[in-house]
């Protein structure tokens, strides 16, 4: 939904790779709380990372990529490639992410690597940068009922292993999202 009034976040490859982060972020987007975006380059990057870590999972990874695109219609940003070369970032390999964020009208880039996207490089494009932990807590704060419902539905889908509200909340902390964990531990009755 490029150009729409709904808050839009470009998801970096490193937040699409871990199952919990990816599922939580996409569950919130699927619930309509924000528009999630990524690009073919970002998708390729996380697919390569998964293939490197799980060499026999290429077909499963491609299936997951297709399912993600089906679950989040209009997620793919296109037409950003010509902007890549004119952007400046500490790591030139991250310029495609910023280019996709600009073309996709993103309000924020959600990434685990904040230092790769310095504020001074993003400010001129009116783009914020947030960790997945910050972003999820923001959604829980802005849309408490809908966000908790989306994460509860995610928990109910998980069956290998299944999770109670408490074990899921604690899993967020184990996976490096302590703010989300604390927020959810206070709302176990509805998670």
The continuous run of DSSP H or E covering 17 comes out as: none
Is the pLDDT confidence value at 29 over 90?
yes
Is 189 in contact with 173 (CB distance < 8 Å)? no
How far apart (Å, rounded) are the C-alpha atoms in residues 6 and 161? 34
- pLDDT average, residue stretch 80-99: 96
Q: How many CA atoms lie within 13 A of 38 on its CB side?
A: 26
Is 38 in contact with 45 (CB distance < 8 Å)? no
8-131 folds as Rossmann fold (3.40.50)
What is the residue extent of each domain of the chain? 8-131, 136-185
Q: pLDDT band for position 60 (50/70/90)?
A: confident
Q: pLDDT band for position 81 (50/70/90)?
A: very high
State the pTM of this model.
0.94
- Considering the chain, what is the average pLDDT of its residues? 94
Is 117 in contact with 129 (CB distance < 8 Å)? yes
Helix, strand or coil, per DSSP, at residue 164: coil
Hey, what are 127's tokens? 């783009």
Q: Which long-range contacts (CB under 8 A, 24 or more apart) does 152-156 make?
A: 152/190, 152/191, 153/27, 153/31, 154/23, 154/24, 154/27, 155/191
pLDDT, one tens digit per residue, over 114-136 is: 999 999 999 999 999 999 999 99
Is the pLDDT confidence value at 1 over 50?
no
Q: Express as a percent the part of the chain with pLDDT over 70.
A: 97
DSSP codes of every residue in 45-89: HHHHHHHHHSTT-HHHHHHHHHHHHHHSTT-EE-S-GGGGGG---
Is the pLDDT confidence value at 106 over 90?
yes
Is 105 in contact with 84 (CB distance < 8 Å)? no
């Amino acid at each position: 939904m490029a150009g729409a009034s709904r808050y839009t976040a470009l998801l970096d490859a490193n937040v699409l790779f871990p199952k919990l982060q990816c599922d939580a972020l996409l569950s919130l987007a699927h619930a309509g709380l924000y528009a999630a975006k990524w690009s073919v380059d970002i998708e390729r990057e996380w697919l390569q990372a998964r293939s490197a870590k799980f060499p026999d999972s290429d077909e499963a990874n491609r299936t997951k990529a297709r399912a993600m695109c089906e679950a989040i219609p209009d997620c793919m940003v296109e037409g950003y490639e010509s902007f890549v070369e004119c952007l400046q970032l500490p790591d030139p390999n991250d310029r495609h992410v910023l280019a996709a964020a600009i073309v996709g009208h993103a309000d924020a880039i959600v990434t685990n690597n904040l230092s790769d996207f310095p504020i001074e490089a993003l400010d001129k494009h009116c783009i914020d940068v947030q960790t997945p932990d910050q972003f999820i807590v923001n959604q829980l704060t802005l849309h408490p009922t809908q966000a908790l419902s989306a994460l509860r539905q995610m928990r109910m889908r998980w069956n290998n292993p299944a999770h109670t509200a408490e074990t899921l909340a604690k899993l967020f902390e184990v996976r490096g999202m302590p703010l989300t964990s604390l927020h959810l531990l206070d709302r176990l009755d509805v998670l």
